[in-house]
């Protein structure tokens, strides 16, 4: 054979080989219903599935593959990088000893990786060392042997069984009931675990008991429970570990939606507070405050305070808390530069000018304005007033003594309930609304309280000389007209403070409305100073009309040494602790200067939120369109529809409404913390 003939033969052989390979290339595509764009995306998707248990999209893909797997008998290697001398066929069918043929539906092929995988093992056997469940195989010459050796292993059997059971549950929509039940228990803080996690056994917990109850009425749940009892299935998602995982998955989804909402509206404020839990570990609650514009909806804009997390911390110093806050913002991928407000209590670790949390955050973002908690300031104001004179101190000591006497004994408490329709309330030093309830209860039921004390002081009905003596001394104090007047005065003052305090703690409260509320409280005190004493004296006389033997003290001395001192101290403290100001009609020059000042404080480097000159021009037009009595939130609702005409005003109002008035949003969550982490849960490992 000549050289030319040899060349022609080799060239023809090469062309024939390439033609065969082109014909065979992609023959495995018929076994795949969905492709991933890259090797990394395939690995990420399958790894994510094995870590997070159930993902709806992957489950749909799994069902799709299982139903659409190809009907042909064989597939061949699509790889063009392998030198193939002879045609190699990889058997897609498994032949039994008796000649029966079954399909290997668990084989899938990744086009991007050019490898074959065991689909069920990839999903359910994360600890497997087999390449079929990890990186896949492309040894096409020996793949038949590899498949035969793999399909007889115990891990493969277990994964295949889990896959089949999962497909069956999905087809029956069996997972929905359990997921909804888990969500219901979590939302209502219902403990799910018992002393065991076995169906139809005593003390197996609320969750399994609910499943047993549902099985009586729901045929799908009934069938599933029967299969569990008969040990036909071992993957049933009723164990406590998977329930904890499901709760964590749902919590993460809620957290993601909150983070997306914050990023969408850009500007936010942070509110944090600390408290020790029942296991004596310091817990920090984190709340974000935003102005939700509801861009895609017809709903009006609203202020929302969104709880994000409880976090454990070992130190409550300003450095530790600020580092925790910054790390959480980085974890949530929320820019610190978009923070426009901080809300904390008035502790030195929070508000310190140099070492406090607010100063450390402002060192990194000058536009994160700090607003001291108005509710805490109001409590401190009342503390000042209650310590303003000896008579005020004595009054609250007496209120506490009355409650202590009755609550220290079930017998004495029963006597109190016999004479009073509403029992006395306990008061705390930091919650002044509780003091209002204490004062109001005694004021409204003073004759009943005196009758109960009379019964206790009767030595024939009591064998406790100490309580008899205490009751008799209290009767003398409570029957004095001075005490009755104090009841009326403090009831009036604390009643007004309670109203303002509740207004301030409203999550929708803004700076302008809070200033108006505090201004109204000052107005009340100023008017009460003029005519409050006479009104209190009239009400006091009505209270003591049914009481015999009361004494009236020197009226003028009481008014001078108690009433006026009380009111003056409260008014002065309000003005000092709250720098109350209200927008008034100003000339154009003043407004222009304010706009420039606002631009300066809302600028950092080359970044700025508003342009002072543009804001001034918009305000000149906007003030002639909008009613002067509208609230900032109402103005924002109007601007939502014309935001393109007044974009700078809209941004300025959103930032103002974002700044918190109180830290009550974070503090209020501690009542839930006591429900979540109770004594039993705090002792779990």
| Residue 264 C-alpha from the chain's centroid | 18
582 domain-assigned: no
Q: H helices within 431-510, ranges in order?
A: 432-444, 446-457, 465-478, 481-504
Residues 156 and 94 grouped into a single domain: yes
The full DSSP string for 340-391 is EEEE--S-HHHH-TTTSHHHHHHHH-TT-EE---HHHHHHHHHHHHHTSSHH
What distance in Å separates the CA atoms of residue 404 and residue 398, rounded to the nearest whole number? 10
| Residue 87 C-alpha from the chain's centroid | 62
685 domain-assigned: no
Under a CB-based contact definition with an 8 Å cutoff, are residues 436 and 497 in contact?
yes
Tokens 């139809």 belong to residue = 200
- DSSP label at residue 137: B
Give the total number of structural domains in the chain. 5
Residues 451 and 469 grouped into a single domain: yes
What distance in Å separates the CA atoms of residue 545 and residue 539, rounded to the nearest whole number? 10
Determine how many CB atoms are found less than 10 A away from the CB of residue 448: 18
The full DSSP string for 212-271 is HHHHTT-HHHHHHHHHHHTTS-S--S-SHHHHHHHHHHHHHHHHHHHHHHHHHH--EEEE
Which segments within 277-346 are labelled E, that is strand?
282-292, 302-313, 339-343
Phi, psi of 340 (to 5 degrees): -120, 5
Is the four-CA dihedral 127, 132, 134, 137 of positive or negative sign? positive
Residue 170, token pair as written in the block: 């999905």
Task: Give Cβ neighbours of residue 61 (< 8 Å, ≥ 6 apart).
Answer: 33, 34
605 domain-assigned: yes
Helix (H) and strand (E) counts in the chain: 30, 13
12 domain-assigned: no
Residues 302 and 326 grouped into a single domain: yes
Residues 131 and 230 grouped into a single domain: no
649 domain-assigned: yes
Domain boundary among 114, 142, 166: 166
Residue 443, token pair as written in the block: 């004021």
Q: H helices within 69-140, ranges in order?
A: 119-124
What distance in Å separates the CA atoms of residue 566 and residue 532, rounded to the nearest whole number? 12
Phi, psi of 249 (to 5 degrees): -65, -45
What distance in Å separates the CA atoms of residue 685 and residue 683, rounded to the nearest whole number? 6
Q: Give me the CATH number covering residue 284.
A: 3.30.420
Under a CB-based contact definition with an 8 Å cutoff, are residues 521 and 501 in contact?
no
What distance in Å separates the CA atoms of residue 99 and residue 47, rounded to the nearest whole number? 38
Residues 225 and 332 grouped into a single domain: no
pLDDT averaged per 10 residues, the chain (length 685): 55 65 49 40 40 42 42 37 35 49 74 82 78 82 82 82 72 58 76 78 82 81 81 74 82 91 92 82 89 83 89 87 92 92 85 86 90 82 81 87 88 89 76 80 88 82 78 86 88 88 82 82 87 84 68 65 81 69 58 86 86 86 80 83 79 88 75 61 51
Residues 368 and 412 grouped into a single domain: no
Residues 82 and 204 grouped into a single domain: no
Domain boundary among 238, 261, 288: 238
What distance in Å separates the CA atoms of residue 117 and residue 135, rounded to the nearest whole number? 8
Phi, psi of 275 (to 5 degrees): -160, 145
Under a CB-based contact definition with an 8 Å cutoff, are residues 481 and 540 in contact?
yes
Is the four-CA dihedral 376, 377, 383, 385 of positive or negative sign? negative
Domain boundary among 217, 238, 259: 238
Residues 167/173/174/178 CA torsion (nearest 10 deg): 130
Determine how many CB atoms are found less than 10 A away from the CB of residue 431: 13
Q: What is the span of the domain harbouring residue 648?
A: 588-658
33 SS3 class = coil
Residues 406 and 546 grouped into a single domain: yes
Residues 654 and 626 grouped into a single domain: yes
What per-residue confidence (pLDDT) applies to 64? Answer: 45
What per-residue confidence (pLDDT) applies to 9? Answer: 59
126 domain-assigned: yes
Under a CB-based contact definition with an 8 Å cutoff, are residues 337 and 365 in contact?
yes
45 domain-assigned: yes
What per-residue confidence (pLDDT) applies to 80? Answer: 34
Residues 456 and 572 grouped into a single domain: yes
Residues 369 and 382 grouped into a single domain: no
Residues 124 and 151 grouped into a single domain: yes
Strands 74-75 and 603-604: unpaired
What distance in Å separates the CA atoms of residue 396 and residue 494, rounded to the nearest whole number? 13
- DSSP label at residue 300: P
HEC assignment per residue over 545-567:
CCCCCCECCCHHHHHHHHHHHHH
Beta bridge partners of 276: 282
Does this model's pTM top 0.75? My answer is no
583 domain-assigned: no
């Amino acid at each position: 054979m000549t050289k030319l003939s040899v060349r022609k033969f080799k060239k023809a052989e090469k062309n024939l080989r390439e033609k065969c390979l082109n014909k065979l290339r992609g023959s495995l595509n018929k076994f795949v219903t969905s492709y991933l764009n890259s090797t990394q995306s395939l690995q990420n998707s399958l790894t994510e599935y094995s870590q997070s248990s159930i993902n709806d999209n992957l489950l749909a893909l799994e069902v799709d593959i299982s139903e659409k797997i190809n009907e042909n008998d064989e597939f061949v290697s699509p790889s063009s990088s392998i030198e193939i001398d002879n045609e190699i066929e990889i058997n897609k069918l498994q032949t039994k000893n008796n000649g029966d043929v079954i399909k290997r539906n668990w084989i899938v092929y990744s086009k991007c990786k050019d490898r074959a995988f065991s689909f069920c093992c990839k999903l359910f056997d994360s600890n497997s060392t087999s390449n079929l469940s990890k990186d896949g195989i492309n040894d096409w010459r020996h793949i038949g042997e590899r498949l035969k050796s793999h399909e007889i292993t115990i891990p493969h059997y277990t994964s295949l069984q889990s896959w089949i059971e999962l497909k069956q549950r999905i087809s029956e929509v069996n997972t929905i009931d359990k997921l909804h039940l888990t969500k219901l228990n979590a939302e209502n803080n219902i403990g799910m675990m018992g002393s065991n996690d076995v169906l139809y056994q005593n003390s197996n917990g609320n969750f399994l008991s609910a499943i047993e109850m549902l099985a009586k009425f729901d045929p799908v749940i009934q069938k599933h429970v029967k299969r569990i009892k008969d040990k036909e299935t071992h993957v049933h998602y009723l164990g406590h570990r998977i329930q904890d995982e499901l709760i964590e998955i749902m919590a993460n989804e809620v957290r993601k939606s909150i983070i997306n909402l914050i990023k969408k509206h850009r500007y936010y404020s942070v509110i944090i507070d600390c408290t020790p839990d029942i296991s004596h570990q310091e817990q920090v609650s984190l709340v974000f405050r935003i102005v939700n514009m509801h861009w895609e909806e017809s709903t009006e804009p609203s202020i929302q305070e969104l709880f994000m997390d409880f976090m454990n911390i070992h130190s409550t110093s300003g450095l530790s808390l600020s580092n925790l806050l910054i790390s959480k913002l980085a974890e949530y991928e929320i820019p610190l530069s978009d923070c426009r407000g901080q809300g904390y209590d008035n502790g030195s670790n929070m508000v310190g000018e140099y070492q406090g949390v607010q100063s450390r955050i402002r060192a990194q973002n000058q536009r994160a304005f700090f607003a001291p908690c108005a509710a805490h300031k109001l409590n401190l104001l009342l503390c000042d007033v209650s310590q303003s004179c000896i008579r005020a101190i004595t009054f609250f000591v007496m209120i506490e003594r009355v409650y202590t006497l009755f609550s220290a004994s079930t017998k004495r408490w029963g006597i109190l309930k016999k004479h009073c329709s509403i029992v006395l309330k306990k008061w705390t030093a930091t919650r002044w609304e509780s003091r209002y309830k204490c004062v109001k209860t005694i004021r409204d039921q003073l004759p009943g309280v005196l009758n109960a004390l009379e019964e206790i002081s009767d030595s024939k009905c009591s064998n406790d000389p100490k309580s008899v003596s205490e009751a008799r001394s209290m009767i003398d104090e409570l029957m004095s007209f001075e005490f009755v007047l104090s009841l009326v005065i403090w009831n009036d003052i604390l009643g007004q403070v309670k109203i303002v305090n509740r207004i301030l703690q409203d999550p929708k409260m803004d700076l302008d409305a809070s200033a108006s509320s505090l201004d109204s409280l000052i107005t009340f005190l100023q008017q009460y100073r003029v005519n409050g004493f006479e009104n209190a004296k009239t009400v006091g006389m009505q209270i003591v009309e049914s009481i015999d033997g009361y004494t009236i003290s020197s009226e003028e001395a009481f008014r001078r040494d108690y009433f006026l001192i009380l009111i003056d101290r409260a008014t002065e403290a309000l003005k000092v602790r709250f720098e109350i100001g209200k927008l008034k009609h100003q000339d154009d020059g003043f407004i222009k200067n304010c706009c420039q000042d606002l631009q300066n404080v809302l600028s950092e480097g080359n970044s700025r939120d508003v342009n002072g000159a543009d804001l001034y021009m918009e305000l000149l037009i906007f003030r002639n369109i909008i009613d002067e009595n509208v609230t900032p939130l109402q103005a924002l609702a109007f601007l939502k529809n014309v935001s393109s005409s007044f974009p700078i005003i809209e941004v300025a109002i959103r930032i103002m409404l974002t700044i918190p008035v109180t830290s009550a949003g974070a503090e209020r969550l501690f009542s839930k913390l006591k429900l979540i982490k109770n004594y039993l849960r705090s002792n779990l490992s």
